[in-house]
Structure 1
Amino acid sequence: MIDNNKKKVRIMAFAIPPVPRPEHVSPEQVIDFDIYALQAENGEYQTLISRLLHARDAPNLLWTPQNGGHWIASRAAVMEEVLESPERFSSRQISVIGPMNPSPPFAPLQIDPPDHNQYRKLLGLAMSPKSIEVLGANARVLAIELIEGFKKRGECEFIGDFAAHLPIAIFMSMVNLPAEDRPELLRISELLVRNESLVATLQANQQLSAYTMQKIAERRANPGDDLISHLIRAQVGGAPMTDHTLIGMINLLLLAGLDTVASMMGFFACHLAQDVELRQQLIVDPRLIRGAVEEMLRRFPITNLARLVVADCTLAGSVLKAGEMILLPTAAAGLDEQRYDNPQDVDLQRKPCINATFGGGAHRCLGAMLARVELNIFIEEWLPRIPDFQIRPGTELHVHSGSVAAICQLPLVWGVT
């Protein structure tokens, strides 16, 4: 399940040796689990997470010596309690590896209530239903253009040819960035979320912050109606935000917009390429697409959230100490058989319910509505044009695991008439 050779390289890069089990952790809770070294082949990332964390009689709260030692919530109910209890579990640190936490911090993601809401409101206008309707219309035009561009080839590399383009185009329209900046932004975002070297990750973060600071300076000199100009003019507590805070907020928007939706889209396409029956259902009755998106969001979560324990407390019958970290692999929540019957199945008859795919509590993803729109548009425009497609025979799919899981490459093929 874990490639030891790659794991050794990864540990050398991050230089974080395993740590001893603390006295307050029972031996039954210990699992050798490294979220940065999981090797999920053939796209089965969520299944691998479930198999590792949902073993028979496994505790609902586990502990690993990897990455400095941290807790792991393995069940949906435990994750919900953590996400809804910011007074015990802070978002100030969102990575179990200390140096991997963003600098400048991502606002409002790394700001706890009640201050969190002041910053969240500043982004509300950009994520309003009216704004998302406009963004969705633009995304649909681009989706059709991209699909028509490679449809007659009978093949594409889905991530690079489609999934990576749709979210970045939407983000760039929100903040009014020039189209020629797209390759550089894609390069930096790829380094930030896919790099296995801590040094390289920190360098990429510096590059992104330098780019963002340049754009802030440009908008101060020539303000407009875009989101960056709006944030520069905004006030929190009666004063404008500092450059440090602005950089963190814009960096968050960039990475969330570029990487998360594209990664989720990759898992959707991977499943649709293999589930012929589901494809046919959606082609025959497109009204089912919205429900299918919700069910696949439940089935294929990709984020691994983390929280800092800020006070000694009890969780799932265990004592946690202030200063410890807890990891929340949302894939384990989506495939929790204690919450869902036959969780591995994509079942269009399943009754929708709130899940952890977009987080929870005060920090529930502000862009969830926009992400849903993008995912719906992908299926609505793809299936009528390319109804019968498959993963290129002989392909071995590899998934990168980290704060966000992603299929690295997804070659698709289909017949051309």
Structure 2
Amino acid sequence: MNADVPNYDRVAKPAHVPDELVVDFDYFHPPGIDEGTVYTAWRRLHDGPDIVWTPHNGGHWILTRAEDIRWVQETYQTFSHEVFTIPRGASPVRMPPLTVDPPLHARYRAVLNPSFTPKRVQALGEQVRALTIELIEKLRPLGRCEFVGQFARIMPVTIFLGIVDLPLDRRDEFVEWAVGYIDASDQPTKDHYLGKVVAYLREVLDARAAEPGDDLLSRIAGWRGNPRFGGEHEVIGMAMLVFFGGLDTVANMLSFTAWHLAEHPELHRRLRDDPSIAARAAEEYIRRHGLSNTGRLVKHDVTYKGVTFKADEMVMVPISMSSMDDRLHADPLTVDFDRETPAHDTFGNGPHKCVGAPLARSELSIFLEEWTKRMPAVRLDPAHRPHSHSGSVNGVSSLHLEWDI
């Protein structure tokens, strides 16, 4: 195989990997996902060793326990974020600050941080609430909806497009590009959508450089004038990171949350009767539904828990496995609004903690308030089974809901 092409095939087990740690697990197609959800499929790994190795997608390690996931997230000197996709290609996509380790990553975070300050998030919250109410009021008289397409990929995406000042009438096209890239399990498909995103963002960044505004992409374009500017890959990389992050993750969190509420009307009623618990409930839904399955590049040999990670190997950090770890969370699959829980790992730990976390929390909390206040008890449509999927981001492919009107 060409070294520039990521290897999605199975590979032979390296000699240093013990036989008892090998699992037949393809994270794009986890066994059992068609019988339940992406989470029940992943959780089967908890039946085995804490750390396992799979020959799929070029071969890589998988961490299954919260303490190990956090250890890798925080030990960036050994487990680098400069390559975060599995399978690994020889020419990885660079998206600073995501793909830059400390201390250099801080310079790129400084470009993004001003768009997510408490003051900015509070101001955006007013827009989130108004749009959430508008969408709910349109849906309620219909008695049914496909939640992913009719709500989840509208509300947070519309807010994001305002942050970056991109045209709202191209929302569906942008979502198609982002989801197509993130969910692709083959390189030609990834390259197809990545090409569209890069070409578009180059045009936008050039336009913002010529006529800057008060938006995030203008701030990114302005990095070209910074004395520490290291090349065009930094600007396009930051723009890509923002683009992909803004168009997919919150939509999936909203969808998993709506799915769960449809199956648990008692929680819907509790939120309706006591909206003051919405922020706490949102945090519990965020804990329960870890989304990202990203990789780390091993920089040098290290032995941990009796497992030897070799330099240049890849280690997968599946956040959902931390969310479902019964060593950290009692009865972890249960959504408990009264849970006295330790800090979860959904937004990451260490220097690469998600910059958009405050906005995501706000959006989910507002959704819970308005959805449970304005909608009657919602249930799954028995004619359409919901579907979830696995990949670099866990997600909901379709969610058909119905209610009495």
TM-score (norm: length of structure 2): 0.95
User: Between the two proteins, what is the percent identity of the paired residues?
Assistant: 37
Equivalent residue for 1:186?
A: 175
Task: Report Cα offsets for 1:63-89 as digits up to 9, x if no partner.
Answer: 111111110001000001100000000
**Which amino acid counterpart does residue 292 of structure 1 have in structure 2?**
A
SS at 2:142 equivalent = coil
Q: Are 1:248 and 2:237 counterparts?
A: yes
Q: Are 1:335 and 2:324 counterparts?
A: yes
Equivalent residue for 1:46?
A: 39
Equivalent residue for 1:66?
A: 56
**What is the root-mean-square deviation of aligned Cα atoms in Å?**
1.8
- The answer to which of 312-321 and 91-100 deviates more is 91-100
Q: Are 1:84 and 2:74 counterparts?
A: yes
TM-score (norm: length of structure 1): 0.92
**Which amino acid counterpart does residue 363 of structure 2 have in structure 1?**
E
Equivalent residue for 2:8?
A: 16
Structure 1 CA distance for aligned equivalents of residues 45 and 15 of structure 2: 22
SS at 1:121 equivalent = helix
Superposed, 1:214-225 pairs within 5 Å as 214-225=203-214
- When residues 100 and 184 of structure 1 are mapped into structure 2, their CA distance, relative to the original with a 3 A threshold, is farther
**Which amino acid counterpart does residue 398 of structure 2 have in structure 1?**
Q
Q: How many residues align?
A: 400
- When residues 158 and 241 of structure 1 are mapped into structure 2, their CA distance, relative to the original with a 3 A threshold, is farther
Task: Report Cα offsets for 1:143-167 as digits up to 9, x if no partner.
Answer: 1111111210111110000000112
Equivalent residue for 2:191?
A: 202
SS at 1:41 equivalent = helix
Equivalent residue for 1:27?
A: 19
SS at 2:384 equivalent = coil
Residue 251 of structure 1 deviates from its aligned partner by 1.1
SS at 1:293 equivalent = helix
- 1:213–1:243: 8 Å Cα contact kept in structure 2? no
Residue 241 of structure 1 deviates from its aligned partner by 5.6
**Unpaired runs of at least 5, structure 1:** 1-12
Q: Are 1:348 and 2:337 counterparts?
A: yes
Q: Are 1:301 and 2:290 counterparts?
A: yes
**Which amino acid counterpart does residue 36 of structure 1 have in structure 2?**
F
Structure 1 CA distance for aligned equivalents of residues 23 and 176 of structure 2: 35
- The answer to which of 228-237 and 164-173 deviates more is 228-237
Q: Are 1:107 and 2:96 counterparts?
A: yes
**Which amino acid counterpart does residue 181 of structure 1 have in structure 2?**
R
**Which amino acid counterpart does residue 206 of structure 2 have in structure 1?**
A
Equivalent residue for 1:289?
A: 278
SS at 2:398 equivalent = coil
**Unpaired runs of at least 5, structure 2:** none
SS at 1:301 equivalent = coil
Residue 395 of structure 1 deviates from its aligned partner by 2.3
Structure 2 CA distance for aligned equivalents of residues 73 and 301 of structure 1: 14
Structure 2 CA distance for aligned equivalents of residues 364 and 316 of structure 1: 25
- 2:83–2:99: 8 Å Cα contact kept in structure 1? yes
